[in-house]
Each structure stands twice: as C-alpha cells, then as structure tokens.
C-alpha cells in the first residue's frame, strides 16, 4: 500500500504519508527503513542531526538494487543542522549529507530550524537556492519556521519554500500558520503528529476511536490527510510501521473533524522555534 501524492510548488509530487527516523538508532535505521519501503512507504525523512543518514541511504540503495522500488518512486528528505547555517557552511553541510546518503540527488532539503539568534537563515536559504539551481536538490524548504520567519524569507527569496515541516497534532493544530502556508503555496508537513505518543491517551480521541472502530493513531493520521497535511510519524515496530500507512479510505465526517478541532490546546511537546539554535 502506498499513500496519495501531494504536489509541491516546485512541481514535484510528495507522498502524503512518510516514515520519519528521528531518534531511530543508527544501527537500527537501515533495517527499519527497509521495512518501511517494503510496506509501501515512498517518503523517508531524515536529518543530519539524527546521525542516521547513512542507514537511510543504505536501505534505499539496497531496495533499489533488489528491484523493490526505483529511485524516482522514492522521495528522500534531509535537513541542515543549526551549526551549519550560513552560505558556505550550508553548501558544506549539504555535501556531507549527500555523501552520507550516497544518493545521486535529494528530493527535498530543509533548514532544520530558523535559529533566529544566529540570524543566518536568509543566507542559508540562498545556498539552498543554488543547490536547487544545480539540480542536486529537487525541492527546497524549511522546518519549524513561524510566520514571522516565513514573511521575512518570502521578501528575500527567489524560490519559494516548497514545504514547512512543523510540530502539528490535535493538541497543536497550527491554524494561523496553516492558513499562511495555503496563502503562499507552501505545503504543511507534520512532525510528531501523535505528539510523541501522548495524544494516544487523549479522552476525546479515545471516544472517537471507539465510535469509529479506528485506532487513535490511524484516526489522527486520517484527520491530517483530510486537512491536506503531509505527516511523517516515527515507528519502531513493523506492525506499527504498517498500521500508520494502511489507513482506511473512508472520509471523516464534518462532525468528527469538528470534534478533533476542538481538542486544540496550543500545546507543544517539542521545542519553541524562537529559542532553538
């Protein structure tokens, strides 16, 4: 089973559902990513900070070699860490990620955090634009950017970011940011869509889960799909990897969508983008 495709403003198509490898141990990465590819995942999300790009690249190359998938069916994302922001540093950082992955090109490269105290994300993004012009990166974007960071970036850039990957789940629904993305043709992608597992015990979601006969994780991922939001949940077991991808085709009713919308607490389980870096 594979997930539906969404179109980025670059023209590239990205699977709505991906496999994220944050906190996946390097020694486990190749095995789990290969399980994800075998299960039908075509979007794999990693980052320099995760220290597991090598394992992602190993699994991707082996799956291609085994004839399971072709490179153009896959969508591989990585991210530049904060200590490599700046024009020249960003180019070096991409080169290092590129070498660790061992792939001809990267489908998407993101600035991991705006790191506003450094005030380097504009020059970092100019380096990203150069990478896109060279064709070694097919699409470029950002992660954890707030509206204030995006407004400044859009005033300066020549290539609009294709995507902003942000913390987004039923307790932090990011309504104003999503509206800004829609206005400017930027795709919203959710990291930690299950709030690091915390929403799995939310009473409102448990009630809906029982009514619909859906596990809470699948309910949340269906909710994101209905909103047109890409998601990259992490899973460490083959069963959970498959469950997160094998979503029912049923549409959630407006009433169900409204009940989930009412759960928004504006509560982060991750860091505040204003203070990182």
Active site residue 19: no
Residues comprising the binding site? Answer: 112
**C-beta separation of 87 from 127 below 8 A:** yes
Catalytic one of 50, 87, 105, 121 = 50
Per domain, the residue ranges of the chain are 5-197+227-248
Residues comprising the binding site for substrate? Answer: 112
Say what the pLDDT of residue 58 is: 98
How far apart CA 131 and CA 106 sit, in angstroms, is 10
Say what the pLDDT of residue 222 is: 97
Select from 133, 42, 150 the least CA-distant residue to 94: 133
Say what the pLDDT of residue 144 is: 98
Say what the pLDDT of residue 1 is: 75
Say what the pLDDT of residue 60 is: 98
How far apart CA 10 and CA 75 sit, in angstroms, is 14
Write out residues in the chain with pLDDT < 70, as ranges: none
Select from 90, 29, 18, 25 the least CA-distant residue to 58: 29
Say what the pLDDT of residue 219 is: 98
Q: Which CATH superfamily is domain 5-197+227-248 in?
A: NADP-dependent oxidoreductase domain (3.20.20.100)
Q: φ, ψ for residue 63 (rounded to 5)?
A: -65, -35
């Amino acid at each position: 089973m594979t997930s539906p495709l969404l179109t980025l403003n670059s023209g590239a198509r990205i699977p709505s559902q991906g496999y994220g490898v944050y906190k996946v141990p390097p020694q486990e990465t190749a095995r789990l990513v290969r399980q994800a590819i075998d299960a039908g995942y075509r979007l794999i999300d990693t980052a320099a900070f995760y220290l597991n790009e090598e394992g992602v690249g190993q699994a991707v190359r082996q799956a291609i070699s085994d004839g399971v998938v072709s490179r153009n069916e896959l969508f591989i994302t990585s991210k530049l860490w904060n200590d490599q922001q700046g024009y020249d540093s960003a180019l070096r950082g991409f080169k290092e990620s590129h070498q660790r992955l061992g792939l001809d090109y990267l489908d998407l490269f993101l600035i991991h955090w705006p790191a506003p105290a450094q005030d380097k994300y504009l020059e970092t993004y100019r380096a990203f634009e150069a990478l896109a012009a060279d064709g070694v990166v097919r699409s470029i974007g950002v992660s954890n950017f707030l509206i204030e960071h995006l407004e400044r970036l859009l005033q300066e850039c020549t290539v609009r970011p294709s995507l902003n990957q942000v913390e987004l789940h039923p307790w932090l629904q990011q309504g104003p940011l999503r509206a800004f993305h829609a206005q400017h043709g930027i795709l919203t992608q959710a990291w930690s869509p299950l709030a690091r597992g915390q929403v799995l015990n939310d009473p409102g979601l448990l009630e809906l889960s029982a009514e619909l006969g859906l596990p809470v994780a699948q309910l949340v991922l269906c909710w994101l799909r209905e909103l047109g939001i890409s998601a990259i949940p992490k899973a460490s077991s083959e069963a959970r990897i498959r469950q997160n991808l094998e979503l029912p085709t049923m549409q959630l009713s407006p009433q169900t969508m409204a009940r989930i919308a009412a759960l928004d607490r504006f509560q982060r389980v991750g860091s505040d983008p204003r203070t990182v870096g």
